[in-house]
Amino acid sequence: MIRINLLPVRAKKKRNTSIYQIVAIAAVLMVASVSSFTMHSVYAAKVEERETKIADNEAEIKRLQKIIGEVNELDKQKTRLLNQLAVIDKLEKGKRGPVRVLDDLSTAIPKRVWVTSFREAGGALSITGSAMDNSDISEFMRALQRTPYFTDITLKFSSADQRDGVTMYNFEIGCKVNYSA
């Protein structure tokens, strides 16, 4: 027996299946679009945040480099000023030094010693004179050693000389002089 179904059930099922597939594909595309847009937004925000950090760090680096430049300039000025102060101090000691050296020399000369010549060249000093005896010359050398201005004191020569019946001892003393002591 032949059966004829006049109801379009299959066509309806096919159409419903097609609609479900289209809806499912559309839903998948919508979810994929939303998730890709969300991921793009998240990564764009991270990139923007890192670019902002980079810009802030570069600005901080520029600010610190400016400060470093100022500090270096101040260090150069400090060094220059310290050098100037050292030169000024050396000049002041050199200015006062000869006066003090001559003052110490005059107080170091014993009563029976006479200085006839005082020559200084490049820190080397030569003192010539005469004394009543060798012990006076020795006393003069010890007195020079006690002063801070005279170092390396040596007796270059000592000779006896008769003048008007009196024996005088001529001498020459060599030493180094330091005006800034």
pLDDT in tens, 10-57: 667 788 888 999 999 999 999 999 999 999 999 999 999 999 999 999
Q: How far apart are CA 57 and CA 51, in angstroms?
A: 10
- Domain ranges within the chain, ordered by starting residue: 35-181
Look at residue 95 and tell me whether its pLDDT is greater than 80.
no
Look up residue 155 and give its two tokens: 């007796």
State the chain's mean pLDDT as an integer: 89
Assess whether pLDDT exceeds 80 at residue 71. yes
Strand partners, 42: none
Confidence of residue 140 (pLDDT cuts 50, 70, 90): very high
Pairing of strands 124-131, 166-177: antiparallel
| Stretch 88-113: mean pLDDT | 83
C-alpha to C-alpha distance for 171 and 137, rounded to whole angstroms: 8
Q: Output the pLDDT for position 8.
A: 64
Q: Cα(149)–Cα(138) distance, rounded to whole angstroms?
A: 18
- pLDDT of residue 181 exceeding 70, the answer is no
Q: Which fold has domain 35-181?
A: Gyrase A; domain 2 (3.30.1360)
Residues 6+ positions from 168 with CB-CB distance below 8 Å: 130, 131, 132, 160, 161, 162
